[in-house]
Structure 1
């Protein structure tokens, strides 16, 4: 969860900085910095969970193969 939170803080900062630099609007920069990264952070969390499941399946499959077939 710490990784997800630090990712969110970084993403909020970047989103705000980019939109503020492009528009000069604190309001628009703040709005985009809250909405877009919040959605991305949730998506990132589930993306990590999905990849962990894939990695676990690969490890389980690898452990079922005889040693001669393991890479």
Structure 2
């Protein structure tokens, strides 16, 4: 069963809006999860751009290609 996986996070939801649009334009369904956490996450940020696990690798490659994330930040 597919589950949601985070591909990018930010303290500001607006930082994720363009990346969300970019993924949608490239055929990747995604959502911005706006739940604000009371604890820090390993990637930081409270709003999360999430995709289905089956689309995770393609979404990451698209975000790198589009300049939304750096490959080095994923290691």
TM-score normalized by structure 2? Answer: 0.29
Question: Which has more helix, going by share of residues?
Answer: 1
Which of the pair is proportionally richer in strand? 2
Higher relative contact order (CA 8 A, sep 6+): 2
The two structures have a TM-score, normalised by structure 1, of: 0.30
Determine which structure has more spread, i.e. the larger CA radius of gyration. Answer: 1
